[in-house]
Amino acid sequence: MSSAIHETLTTPDGPFTVLADTDGSVMASGWTDDIASLVARLRPASRPERLVAGSMPSAAASVRAYYDGDLGALESVAVSLHGTEMQTRGWTALRGISPGAPLSYAEFAEALGSPSAVRAAASICARNAAALFVPCHRVLRSDGTLGGFAWGLDVKRSLLAREAQA
């Protein structure tokens, strides 16, 4: 990967930056304006050599639509995540969790076909670089508490509340 485009948007949850491949596929995203923190979430082999500020109309429009109440707007945005076979299956499965219907880590592990792999399921969420586009915030502890979230529990709580209202 030689170069990537980045764009920072203003959201109710703070600055949200998207890092995308030159074809527009989201590689990383999160509630920060620190590009280096997003790049650090990528595997070393997937890190771009050059970063260019630019506009990503599809991703940006989808994020704005999500925050305006269209919770399905993110589903059509392509993502480009690189990991193990189980991680990529997990990230695909996360995209299938409906807004307002979070799963527990145990339920997520079961959905992956590995009911005893709860820690692996949690690790898949933790290693998700494309937050919001791959909605790892929709996975909770078995007791219903939030668990962790790379971008802070206040953001996770806000996202879940927004989705529960819809």
Active site residues per annotation: 136
37-50 b/e (C-beta count within 10 Å ≥ 16 → b) = ebbebbeeebbbee
Strand order in the sheet with 26-30: 26-30, 14-21, 3-11, 50-53
Strands 14-21 and 3-11: what pairing?
Answer: antiparallel
Residue 81 Cα distances to 12, 18, 104, 109, 151, angstroms? 26, 13, 23, 19, 18
By three-state DSSP, how is residue 59 classified? helix
